[in-house]
Structure 1
Amino acid sequence: MQRVLVVGSINVDRILQIPQLPLPGETIKMTGLTSAAGGKGANQAVAAARSGAQTTFIGNVGADADGKMMRQTLQDNQIEIGAVGVTSSTVTGQAYVLLQASGQNSIIINSGANDLLTAATVTAQAAIIEKQHFIVAELETPVAATIAAFRIAHQARIPTILNPAPARANLPAKLLASTDLIVPNETESASLTGIQITDQASMQASATFFHQLGIPAVVITLGAAGCYYSYADQQGIIPGLTVPVVDTTAAGDTFIGALAAKLTPDFSNLVAALQYATQASALTVQQMGALPSIPQQAAILAALADNQK
């Protein structure tokens, strides 16, 4: 069984359903308000677990009702949470999702306990990190913690996957140098490279930028258009799937987790794993919420089989 460890964030999402984003100074009325388990790290871990990976999590929650709920939710998804710390000094992370009628969302984060994840906490889990097939991280927790995880992974020759989200520029060179696969979306890629994604030539130029930093594999997600990949002598576009969009929350995280669950450590099945991840993401956007929308492996495989008929 594939073993995946996620270093990342744990949030509770408050989903505000609105017709459209308000203009400056405008007051609008919500059409609905719901709460759901979320956080980029938690989403990615659940996606990996639901796609059949033996999944472990390193992160933090508050000593509050939200933290208790999130720990239970991870356990309910067969995720090992022995390295999920509990702190009484701040709250569990919160995300306020402004969900428009179009299905597009904007998100405001209160990091809370996520900001307390340290390099020392991660280093203490070195023995667990060294037993994995992949280490996955994003940028909703302190970069120092991710650097520590990736350093341990590289010393043990375990491949690493970095989702550089939320977007930021000027990531530490030592983080990028210990990244084996980087998976930004178009905005995140532009923030790091300075190259706007407009066509396949700009995708290739962006991939070259990342390769020159020492990152062997690059996947740029393109929303409904699919994703672009570049690895060794392979490059191309995996087309997106046309589906009715209800909520795009966690679509990218589902892609990352599903990819980590199916990709072989030598990347020899990259195209097939990307096709699987694309299908998983397409199922996610057809449901409301973050964790609740992440599909199980059986549903993904059934949808792939239907598409191939």
Structure 2
Amino acid sequence: MVNKVTVLGSLNVDTILKIKRLPQPGETMAMEAKKNAGGGKGSNQAVAASRLGAQTSFIGKVGNDENGRFMQEILTTAQVDTQYVSVSEDKATGQAFILLQASGENSIIIDGGSNQAITTDDIYQAQTKIEAADFLVTQFETPLESATLAFEIAKKAGVTTILNPAPAQEAPQTLLANVDLIAPNETEAEILTGIKVVDAQSQHQAAKKLQAKGVKNVIITLGSRGAYYLTADQKEGLVPAFKVQAVDTTAAGDTFLGALSSQLKPDFSNIEEAILFANQASALAVQKLGAVPSIPTFAEVSAQLNQ
């Protein structure tokens, strides 16, 4: 069965600046290269879900500018339904400026632009699309009020909700109460729970604290260590990451989320297999430069898993 995934999220044009390392305060440094690419956590996750086998739709907003048309084209090329991607006349399309170090690590500065102009009216207009989905996915690069309403609509319709709490911030209880799966990384888990995730005990404690906030299922992504999960029925485990040489980690987490939503069953019965698939997709993504350009296809992930 093909999963139907609707993503509410951000659309950004990424400007990638390749540098050897981060400059020190007051230091001037020459960059090694500059590149523009499609990005935004929402866009990345939607493209990943679509390329990896899901029937995918997007709810978002772009500016009336070249960047907006560029992002619309990226989604369309990836076979993502853009019926509910609207155009803001007074806000420019979102942008992200990525400082990419030689190590593959990155630092990102975001101008939200039209992403922050998504309103509850936009959510109501897309209500039928939300209700028809198997999964609704969102992040924190769009207004919380809109995300909260979208999740309320989804839960009333029996749609499984996935929250990627990034960029990290406190989440309102009204939103968390309607989250079936939350998927933070270690930093985001610490901000949400106050628990520093460093080992098996702390990752379990952080996940339990998130469940105490009303979230049913938890996945904490651990970078090169893999991903830890704790389900509503208290099944837990760690799925190791694949060892690769990272070139650019920009879309690693987004590729993981998109891949996961493309394979996960709404009852979470195959959560370990879905995480393994998502880990492999993420491992392929970090070996290429850019966000959207690095996201692999279903065939590429399957070929690696079947080796």
In structure 2, how many angstroms separate the alpha carbons of the residues matched to 1:286 and 1:230?
29
Query: How far is the alpha carbon of 1:100 from its aligned partner?
Result: 0.2
Q: CA–CA distance in 1 between the matches of 2:129 and 2:91?
A: 27
Q: Does 1:172 align with 2:172?
A: yes
2:65, 2:234 → 1: CA distance?
50
Deviation string 1:158-196 (CA, Å, 9 cap, x unpaired) is 110000000112x11010010000000000000000000
Equivalence map 1:16-35=2 (5 Å):
16-35=17-36
Q: What residue in structure 1 maps to residue 51 of structure 2?
A: 50
* C-alpha distance in structure 1 between counterparts of 2:152 and 2:121, whole Å: 13
Look up the match of 1:236. 237
Equivalent residues in 2 for 1:198-213, closer than 5 Å: 198-213=198-213
Secondary structure of residue in 1 paired with 2:306: helix
- Between the aligned partners of 2:167 and 2:203, the Cα distance in structure 1 is 19
Report SS of the residue matched to 1:283.
helix
User: Aligned partners of 1:91, 1:207: CA distance in 2, in Å?
Assistant: 38
Please state how far the C-alpha of 1:129 moved relative to its aligned partner. 0.7
> For the residues of structure 1 that align with 2:303 and 2:234, how far apart are their CA atoms?
31
Q: Who is 2:113 aligned against?
A: 112
Partner residue, 1:140 = 141
Note the residue ranges of structure 2 that are not aligned, 5 or more in a row: none
Tell me what 1:254 maps to.
Answer: 255
* Amino acid aligned to 1:95: A
The answer for the alignment partner of 1:65 in structure 2 is 66
Give the aligned residue type for 1:186: E
- Give 1:243 shift: 0.3
What amino acid maps onto 1:205 in structure 2?
A: Q
The Cα of 1:41 is off from its aligned counterpart by 0.1
Offset of residue 119 of structure 1: 1.6
Segments of structure 1 that go 5 or more residues without pairing to the other structure are none
What is the aligned partner in structure 2 of residue 130 from structure 1? 131
Paired AA for residue 239 in structure 2: I
The equivalent of 2:96 in structure 1 is 95
Deviations, residues 192-218 of structure 1 (Å, cap 9, x unaligned): 000000111001101110111121110
AA at the equivalent of 1:241: F
RMSD of equivalent CA atoms: 0.6
- Tell me, what secondary structure is at the counterpart of 1:22? coil
- Give the CA deviation at 1:123: 1.7
Helix, strand or coil at the partner of 2:238: strand
Higher mean C-alpha deviation, range 205-214 or range 290-299: 205-214
| Whole-angstrom CA distance in 2 between matches of 1:64 and 1:88 | 9
TM-score by length of 2: 0.98
- Are positions 1:37 and 2:38 aligned together? yes
Letter in 1 for 2:135: F
Contact 2:91–2:117 (CA under 8 A) maintained in structure 1: no
Q: Does 1:197 align with 2:163?
A: no
- CA shift, 1:262, in A, is 0.2
What SS does structure 2 have at the residue aligned with 1:46?
helix
1:98, 1:105 → 2: CA distance?
Answer: 5
- AA of the residue aligned to 1:198: V
What is the alpha-carbon distance in structure 1 between the residues aligned to residue 234 and residue 226 of structure 2?
20
> Cα deviation per residue 1:214-241 (whole Å; 9 max; x = unaligned)?
2111000000110100001310110111
For each residue in 1:99-144, what CA deviation from the matched residue of structure 2 results, as whole angstroms up to 9, or x when unmatched? 0000000000000000000122112211111100000000000011
Question: Equivalent residue for 2:80?
Answer: 79
Residue in 2 aligned with 1:214?
214
Distance 1:39 1:214 in 2: 27
Residue 277 of structure 2 corresponds to residue 276 of structure 1: yes
Structure 2 CA distance for aligned equivalents of residues 94 and 120 of structure 1: 24
DSSP-derived class of the 1:276 partner: helix
Aligned counterparts of 1:233 and 1:68: Cα–Cα separation in 2: 45
Aligned counterparts of 1:84 and 1:304: Cα–Cα separation in 2: 34
Structure 2: distance between partners of 1:213 and 1:80: 33
Aligned to 2:184: 184
Measure, in 2, the Cα distance between the counterparts of 1:214 and 1:89. 37
Secondary structure (helix, strand or coil) at the match of 1:299 reads helix
Give me the whole-angstrom Cα distance separating, in 2, the residues matched to 1:90 and 1:148.
Answer: 22
